[in-house]
């Protein structure tokens, strides 16, 4: 039968895609396993790359994640979708690798925070006619430019922005993955977003980077 992966979430014999994938992995049949790996390797590599940034480290993270998935498939209880479970594993493997990478090519987060006068009033330039995100997204190299700016953030802030706003983990999930408090996640997330706002200002204002 193979993986039996159908678009409607049901296979030909009525079991779910996740059930079939789990059966496949447990059986360890080589061709079905290969189909499973090919089906998931692309998005897993994209997730790992967003977290660790370096393509070689990302491949290592994906390889470790698959090893973990194969080892722990018996523990998958179906409480979440299989892809959600796999996403958590590749995120955790990427975070483990990220902890070993030392970076120096980042900006100072403090220099990118909003400024206030002695009365607590904000200094903010008026944006006459900013570009809309929709219009900006039509530019061919926009994704690379935006991701390049996100990459400038120090990892302790960047990773929270990536996990919360791009990978769409909840505050609690981010706190658990990084072993920090939810309050700490929120503080760092806001500082990361504020810094990113400053970094992306030239783009949104149509001035280019």
Partner 1 sequence: MSKAGQEPIRRRRRLHGMMFRLPLMITCEAFEDFILAYLEGDLNARQTFVFELHLKLCRECRDYLDAYRKALELAKACGSDEAAVLQKVPEDLVAAVLAARDC
Interacting residues with partner 1 (CB under 8 A): 28, 30, 33-34, 37-38, 41-43, 45-46, 50, 59, 62-63, 66-67, 70, 114, 116-127, 130, 132-133, 136-137, 142-143, 146-147, 150, 161-162, 165-166, 168, 186, 189-190, 193-194, 196-197, 199-201, 203-204
Name residues whose C-beta falls within 8 Å of residue 95's C-beta, 6 or more positions apart in sequence.
Answer: 51, 159, 177, 178
Q: CA 2 to CA 36: how far, in whole Å?
A: 9
Are 5 and 21 a contacting pair, CB within 8 Å?
yes
Least distance from C-beta 19 to partner 1, angstroms? 20
Q: How many CA atoms within 13 Å lie on the side-chain side of 119?
A: 3
Between residues 20 and 164, which has the closer beta carbon with respect to partner 1? 164
Between residues 99 and 197, which has the closer beta carbon with respect to partner 1?
Answer: 197
17-27 and 82-98 helices, crossing angle to 10°: 60
Least distance in angstroms from the C-beta of 149 to partner 1: 8
At its nearest, how many Å lie between partner 1 and the CB of residue 36? 10
Q: How far apart are CA 83 and CA 61, in angstroms?
A: 16
* Nearest residue (CB) to partner 1, 107 versus 194: 194
Residue closer to partner 1, measured from CB, 13 or 118? 118
Maximum alpha-carbon separation in the chain: 71
Residues 6+ apart with CB under 8 A from 155: 98, 101, 103, 106
Least Cβ distance, residue 58 to partner 1 (angstroms): 9
Output 5 or 136, the one with its CB closest to partner 1. Answer: 136
- Cβ 43 to partner 1 shortest distance, Å: 5
């Amino acid at each position: 039968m193979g993986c039996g992966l159908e678009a409607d979430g049901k296979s030909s014999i009525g079991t779910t895609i996740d059930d079939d994938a789990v059966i496949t992995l447990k059986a360890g049949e080589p061709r079905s396993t290969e189909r499973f790996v090919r089906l998931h390797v692309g998005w897993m590599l994209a997730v790992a790359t967003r977290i660790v940034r370096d393509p070689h480290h990302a491949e290592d993270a994906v390889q470790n994640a698959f090893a973990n998935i194969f080892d722990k498939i018996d523990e998958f209880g179906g409480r979440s979708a299989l892809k959600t479970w796999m996403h958590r594993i590749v995120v955790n493997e990427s975070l483990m690798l990220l902890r070993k990478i030392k970076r120096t090519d980042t900006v100072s987060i403090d220099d990118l925070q909003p400024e206030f006068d002695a009365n607590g009033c904000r200094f903010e330039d008026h944006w006459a006619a900013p570009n809309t995100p929709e219009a900006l997204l039509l530019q061919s190299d926009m994704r690379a430019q935006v991701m390049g700016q996100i990459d400038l953030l120090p990892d302790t802030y960047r990773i929270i922005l990536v996990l919360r706003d791009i990978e769409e983990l909840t505050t609690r999930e981010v706190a658990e993955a990084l072993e920090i408090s939810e309050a700490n996640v929120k503080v760092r997330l806001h500082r990361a977003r504020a810094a990113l706002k400053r970094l992306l200002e030239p783009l949104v204002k149509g001035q280019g980077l």
